[in-house]
Amino acid sequence: MKSKIQNFFKALGPGFIIAAVVLGPGSITVSSKIGATHGYSLLWVIALGAVSMSVYTTMSVRYGVLHEKSLLKTIAEKYGKWFSIAIGVCSFLAALSFQFGNNLGVGMGMKTLTGINEAIWPLIFTPLAIVLVFFTKNLYKALEQIMMVMVIILILAFIINLIFIRPDLEAAAIGFIPSAVSGRDFNEIAALVGTTFVLHNAFFQAYLVQGKGWKLADMHKSIRDTKIGVFLLALISTLVIVTAAATLKPKGISVNSAADMAIQLEMLLGSFAKYIFGFGFMAAAFSSLVVNSVTGGGLLADSMGLGSSMNEKMPKVFTAIILLAGMVIAVFFKGNVIYALIMAQASSILGVPLIAIGLFLVLNSKSIMGKYRNSILQNIMAVIGFILISALVYFMYGKLIGYLTI
């Protein structure tokens, strides 16, 4: 029995990294705010986003175990260098939008713990992240181990808390049935989709699988790992919404700080909830900060033919650029932090339709994928996911244009 459990965890890895990078401060903030505001009614959005994420992530995995050549290099050779660079730039910009939120999350978490202004902390944690990226010998292995621990801790904390708060399970079940929403809620819906359906991370799964060393013989194992990772990220977002719906909404508490979100854990942790949540929020932000920058930096470098491995020089240089840019924006930001986290999460989806198209074309190419190309059902699911993300991009584009013309 013990050996079976050990073998199970040895077979996991890239899926946990994806779960951890998506489960950053923006994800926790958005889920908390939606639970506090809408109760259980938007749980169906997570389910829809998770199914779409699973479809595109497993597509990426199938490519990764079949080929040693990187995904963007294949796209450059098959469809043109411009297409590869465009995807790399979109991934880089999506990572930048997340990075702003990750830095704010580190600051919020540390302010909750210490009372020191949140603008100070990115100046401390960003250099730490750069040291980790440049001086860790096997960056993939280090990330895998750190992220696995982070995800397990988050899940256990919220599951144990649910035992104490006893949420309305019937209302939660009804929340998974799609319902009508108003236009004023679209910011939060777009952000909620952004917490589960993150295409540049789905795309990067091919690189993580290659970094793990998995081959064709490991396809079943790698797909299982990926689905577990997507399930876990959806589970944590669901747990946060359910917890917020059961604890914050009945009290009429709106989420304006990490301390407000920490009220969710008071049934379990009492007066220590504020500090435990602050630490967890900071840790989630820092883990996402590191992996998100590695993803965006790695994809941009590979799109330009400058290296695809996390251990090569130029991916690390671009990673450092993302880290530093996110730090600078966060340090000088003066607005509402909670609203900024939601907008950063929502705006991250603007460039992703192009990423979806690239992955879709590769996975439907007989010359590239052979008998492992997409089935009709997989294509139907991929198109549904593409329509979902494109509709939200159209909405967010209109919102951002509106802000620019005010």
Superfamily the domain 15-404 falls into = Amino acid/polyamine transporter I (1.20.1740.10)
Q: How far apart are CA 287 and CA 376, in angstroms?
A: 37
The residue whose two tokens read 């029995």 is 1
Residue 404: the pLDDT is 41
Q: Cα-atom radius of gyration of the chain, to the nearest Å?
A: 20
What backbone phi and psi angles, to 5 degrees, belong to 332? -95, 0
Residue 257: the pLDDT is 64
Contacts of 188 (CB under 8 A, 6+ apart): 30, 33, 34, 37, 38, 42, 342
Query: Which residue from 65, 56, 34 is spatially nearest to 372, judged by alpha carbons?
Result: 65
What backbone phi and psi angles, to 5 degrees, belong to 275? -80, -40
Give the length of the chain.
406
Q: List the chain domain ranges.
A: 15-404
Q: Where are the alpha helices (DSSP H) in 178-272?
A: 186-196, 199-212, 219-247, 258-262, 266-269
Q: How far apart are CA 124 and CA 324, in angstroms?
A: 11
DSSP for residue 375: P
CB 20 within 8 A of CB 150: yes
Residue 70: the pLDDT is 92
DSSP for residue 348: T
Q: How far apart are CA 325 and CA 98, in angstroms?
A: 11
> Residue 336: helix, strand or coil by DSSP?
coil
CB 73 within 8 A of CB 204: no
The residue whose two tokens read 């879709």 is 360
Per-residue pLDDT 10s for the chain (406 aa) are: 545 444 544 555 677 677 766 777 777 878 888 888 888 888 998 888 889 889 999 999 999 999 989 999 999 999 999 999 988 988 888 888 778 778 888 888 888 888 888 888 889 989 988 988 887 766 666 666 666 676 677 677 777 777 777 888 899 899 998 877 776 767 677 777 777 887 888 888 899 888 888 888 888 888 888 888 888 888 888 888 898 888 888 877 777 666 666 776 776 677 777 777 777 778 778 878 888 898 889 999 999 999 877 778 899 999 999 999 888 877 776 655 555 555 555 555 556 788 889 999 999 999 999 999 999 999 999 998 888 777 776 665 555 444 444 4
